[in-house]
Amino acid sequence: MPVVRGTSVDIPTQDGTADAYLAHPGDSAPHPAVLLYMDAFGLRPQLRRMADRLASAGYTVLVPNVFYRHGRAPVVELPDVIDPVRRPEIFAALGPVMQALTPESAMRDAGVYLSCLAASPLADDGPVGLTGYCMGAVLALRTAGTYPERVAAAACFHGGRLATDAADSPHLLADRITAELYFAHADQDPSMTEDQIALLESTLTAAGVTYRSEVYHGAHHGFTQADTAAHDAQAEERHWQALLALLSRTLRPG
List residues bridging with 156 in a β-sheet: 132, 183
Kindly name the residue from 189, 220, 232, 239 that is annotated as catalytic: 189
134 is catalytic: yes
156 is catalytic: no
Kindly name the residue from 31, 220, 221, 231 that is annotated as catalytic: 221
What's CA 124's distance to the chain center, in Å? 20
Kindly name the residue from 134, 185, 232, 239 that is annotated as catalytic: 134
- Taking the C-alpha atoms of residue 8 and residue 63, their distance in angstroms, rounded to an integer, is 10
In this structure, the number of other CB atoms found within 10 A of the CB of residue 190 comes to: 9
Measured between alpha carbons, how far is residue 199 from residues 129, 163, 172, 196, 213 in Å? 24, 6, 10, 5, 12
168 is catalytic: no
Closest CA to 171 of 151, 201, 150: 201
Name the residues annotated as catalytic: 134, 189, 221
